[in-house]
Structure 1
Amino acid sequence: VIFGDQQDFVATLVNVDPIVVGKWAEDRGISYSTFMDLSAKPEVAELIREEIVKINGNAEKKHFRIKRYAILYKLLDTDDGELTKTGKIRRKFVREKYQDLYDALYDEGVEEKEVEAFFQYQDGQTANVKTRISFYTMEGVS
């Protein structure tokens, strides 16, 4: 989810593809047990950084470059209201739901934040889990 409207720079909450990134991790012998575990791996953060370097290199204008990012600990989901039924991101809803992460993206002094995640599983069970999110700043982007 890309943000930047009425901000000094572009920032993003990245939602990694569990199949693609999971296979990438397995091919490199990086073990993980859950999506949350996979998304928190430093190696995954480095993979995302490398991809953002490529994206920034193709940006038409300097102010289109991504300066800050964090990797979301869960998949965006239609059942949670984060996606439409056709799979489009509901940006305003996502921003409001993850307001604390959004605020941290735009506070360059924040490198890590503890969050409490609420999960509702398909069988109806629920769980609250605490996790830490790391925030990264791209070098050379103003």
Structure 2
Amino acid sequence: MEHQASAPISGFSPAWPPFGPDVRSTASVAAHLQAEAVHAMMRCQIEFLSFLNHRYEKDFKLIDDLITSQETGDSFEVLGEFMQSAVTEYATEAGKLARINSRALYAAADRIRDGARVIADDMSAATVG
């Protein structure tokens, strides 16, 4: 059985592309925002994985230092230094990740502001022309 196209809805004329220039501008802005979000996420992941690699190396060193420590007092000193270092480094890393996210949000705000300006200009040009 052949498929027959249904009659078009009265008053509706499909056009290609199925959206106007203001929607294309909005879609472009949204695509750029998504790309920036992916870049920011990747920067955070790279930074954090690098940090984890560094911390795992310190974990291995802790195990070696604990094995080679001669007395119980030495073990407590080694563990105390490790914990102090870990707390400081995790706090520093949290600051780095916050800065990366802050920069990404600032860039996104700029992109939204620029996109809104372009869309407003396109819409005003469409109403004038």
Place the TM-score, normalised by the shorter chain, in its bin.
under 0.3
TM-score where L is the length of structure 1? 0.22
Q: Which has the higher contact order (CA 8 A, sep 6+)?
A: 2
TM-score where L is the length of structure 2? 0.23
Greater strand share, structure number: 1
